[in-house]
């Protein structure tokens, strides 16, 4: 059976409704089958909402969700005497190793073999100071405890979701009590204090007060004032040529005498400001494309407030991508469009491509996806915050204001990388009294956005929780969309250290798009791996194309077989775009004033400046 046939069979088998009432309402034999709209909880007692909204100001995590994970683990462990015995034996073995290590240290064996080593991605214990007495003891005690808890949270019978939640929460607690976080147990802090006579703590106190004032006043963090949107970041020349309540559409000015005939439309995620793709001139993907002769359009999302609380996922599709495509086809008539999307903007772009293929099939030239998932079965660490209890908690949090604040989202991402973004930074800023000089990517990361109540609830339930898109239940205008309808060539980019959209999950696009797929795996993380301009030091990538008729290659096999190249994947993507474009032509006009798309203002526009 071919990949297409298998996928279509998979879609059909997963299509029936999951409850009896829904199954009674829908038939499966006609072309006009309708699916129910994506649900958003409305009939909830006011007292419940108010309680949850108030408690969420203390913790954004549902205590019920965490309690269920703990109870699941504890009850299975209590009924597993064999596993208890194994863990007790493991604890005794580690205690014996630690005692042996202490004896070696006391006896003067300076190069005593360590009984535990940090994981390769754990850089907290770098430096020879951590191998000196007594800091070596603190390090070993902590690492052995961490290893034991990793083992202890692995208990047979615990649900798959809770299997992910328990190690994460254990790691959060252990990170809090790491010897790095206390002045007397961190050799770098002790050394700095001795050498500087305690002035590191004086500077740290100043840093703490600056950060505290910044939090309560809403001011920019120190150094961020050096990066201003429209002045030294997001400065590629262009015009806003269309605007509605949700988007501004930016058309960038040509930089070459001739351009490729087909324009490029980029759709960023609505949880970020678009200018991550147009940072400083030297690392702007937009500028790079324009300099190579592409006509580039960019969607800039509005930063929604309470008045947008009822905007849903379909509104983002219709008022976003579809309206943008309509404008582009007017400004650049008789040409198909290269559609590109970043993160959740890529998921939206894939849905748009599938809906267009279902309804007319002749609008797009290609589809490009940056760190984009279409199957959320293995959605990375964010899936730990996605269960029915957590979503109910989150909905009540958003219900109070009509949106989810950017600070709430930022806090969630900080938890995912608490070692680097919370504890290590606290040690650096407040104990060592040092400040990292900010850069344009840090300034962008601090420029947070909000998400409207209805849309955020819909996409979390439909995509993350129910995985409706991959399983053939995701509906647009009441009819399901199938990614197998996409026939245009696909270019997908993922990054090696992506904790938001793991590359093996992104790689699953091979299973869904019934077309040629070019997949690139770049070094770096979710954001830094995408902002990877030519000339950026220590950048590598792997790339290969799977033709529609080729057999599927598993991701780890693909990674082992595909050669690695030094440099930026941008060059490969531009070459791919050029290869799927027609001849070069005279640049189109900026907007189309006579057809209703008069240039409104200079880029970067107004929406990106909204706080």
Residues annotated as part of the active site: 343
Q: Which two tokens stand for residue 114?
A: 């360590």
Q: Distance between CA 493 and CA 163 in Å, rounded?
A: 29
Going by C-alpha positions, the residue among 510, 478, 270 that lies closest to residue 373 is: 510
Cβ burial 563-602 (10 Å sphere, 16+ → b, else e): eeeeebbbebbbebbeebbeeeeebbebbbeeeebebeee
DSSP 564: E
Strands 364-370 and 490-495: parallel
3-state DSSP helix/strand/coil percent for the chain, to nearest 5? 50, 10, 40
Burial of 29 (0-12, 13-18, 19+ CB in 10 A): exposed
- Contact indicator for 547, 517 with CB cutoff of 8 Å: no
Q: Which two tokens stand for residue 165?
A: 């939640």
Going by C-alpha positions, the residue among 211, 296, 192, 298 that lies closest to residue 249 is: 298
HEC-encoded secondary structure of 72-92? HHHHHHHCCHHHHHHHHHHHH
- Contact indicator for 240, 599 with CB cutoff of 8 Å: yes
């Amino acid at each position: 059976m071919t990949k297409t046939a298998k996928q279509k069979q998979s879609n059909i088998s997963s299509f029936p409704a999951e409850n009896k009432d829904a199954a009674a309402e829908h038939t499966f034999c006609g072309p006009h089958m309708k699916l129910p709209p994506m649900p958003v909880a409305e009939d909830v007692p006011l007292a419940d909402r108010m309680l949850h909204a108030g408690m969420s100001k203390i913790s954004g995590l549902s205590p019920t969700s965490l309690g269920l994970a703990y109870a699941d683990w504890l009850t299975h462990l209590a009924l597993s005497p064999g596993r208890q015995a194994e863990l007790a034996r493991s604890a005794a073995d580690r205690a014996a190793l630690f005692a042996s290590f202490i004896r070696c240290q006391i006896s003067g064996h300076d190069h005593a073999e360590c009984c535990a080593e940090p994981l390769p991605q754990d850089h907290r214990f770098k430096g020879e100071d951590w191998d000196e007495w007594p800091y070596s003891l603190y390090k070993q005690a902590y690492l052995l405890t961490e290893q034991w808890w990793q083992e202890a949270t692995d208990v047979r019978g615990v649900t798959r979701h809770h299997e992910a939640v328990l190690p994460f929460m254990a790691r959060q607690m252990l990170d809090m009590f790491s010897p790095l976080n206390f002045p007397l147990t961190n050799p770098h802090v002790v050394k700095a204090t001795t050498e500087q006579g305690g002035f590191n703590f004086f500077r740290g106190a100043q840093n703490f007060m600056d950060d505290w004032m910044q939090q309560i006043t809403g001011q920019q963090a120190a150094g961020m004032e050096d990066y201003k949107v429209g002045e030294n970041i997001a400065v590629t020349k262009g015009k806003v040529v269309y605007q509605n309540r949700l988007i501004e559409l930016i058309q960038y000015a040509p930089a070459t005498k001739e351009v490729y005939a087909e324009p490029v439309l980029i759709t960023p995620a609505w949880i970020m400001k678009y200018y991550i793709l147009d940072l400083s001139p030297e690392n702007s993907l937009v500028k790079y494309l324009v300099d190579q002769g592409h006509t580039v359009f960019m969607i800039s999302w509005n930063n929604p407030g309470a008045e947008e609380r009822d905007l849903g996922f379909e509104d983002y599709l219709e008022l976003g991508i579809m309206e943008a495509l309509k404008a582009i086809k007017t400004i650049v008539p008789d040409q198909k469009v290269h559609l590109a999307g970043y993160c959740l903007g890529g998921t939206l772009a894939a849905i748009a491509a599938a809906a267009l293929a279902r309804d007319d099939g002749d609008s797009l030239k290609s589809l490009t996806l940056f760190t984009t998932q279409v199957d959320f079965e293995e959605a990375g660490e964010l899936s730990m915050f996605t269960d029915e209890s957590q979503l109910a908690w989150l909905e009540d949090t958003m219900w109070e204001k009509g949106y989810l604040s950017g600070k709430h989202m930022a806090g969630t991402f900080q938890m995912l990388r608490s070692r680097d973004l919370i504890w290590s930074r606290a040690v650096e800023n407040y104990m060592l009294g040092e400040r990292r000089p900010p850069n344009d990517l840090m300034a962008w990361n601090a420029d947070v956005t909000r998400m409207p109540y209805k849309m955020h609830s819909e996409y979390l339930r439909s995509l993350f929780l129910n995985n409706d898109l991959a399983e053939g239940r995701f509906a647009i205008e009441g009819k399901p969309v199938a990614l197998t309808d996409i026939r245009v060539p696909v270019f997908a980019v993922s990054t090696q250290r992506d904790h938001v959209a793991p590359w093996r999950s992104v790689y699953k696009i091979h299973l869904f798009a019934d077309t040629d797929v070019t997949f690139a795996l770049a070094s770096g993380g979710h954001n830094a791996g995408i902002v990877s301009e030519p000339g950026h030091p220590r950048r590598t990538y792997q790339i290969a194309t799977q033709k529609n008729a080729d057999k599927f290659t598993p991701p780890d096999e693909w990674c082992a077989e595909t050669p690695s190249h030094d440099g930026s994947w941008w060059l490969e993507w531009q070459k791919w775009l050029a290869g799927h474009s027609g001849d070069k032509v005279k640049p189109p006009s900026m907007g189309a004033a006579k057809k209703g798309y008069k240039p409104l203002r200079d880029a970067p526009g107004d929406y990106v400046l909204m706080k």
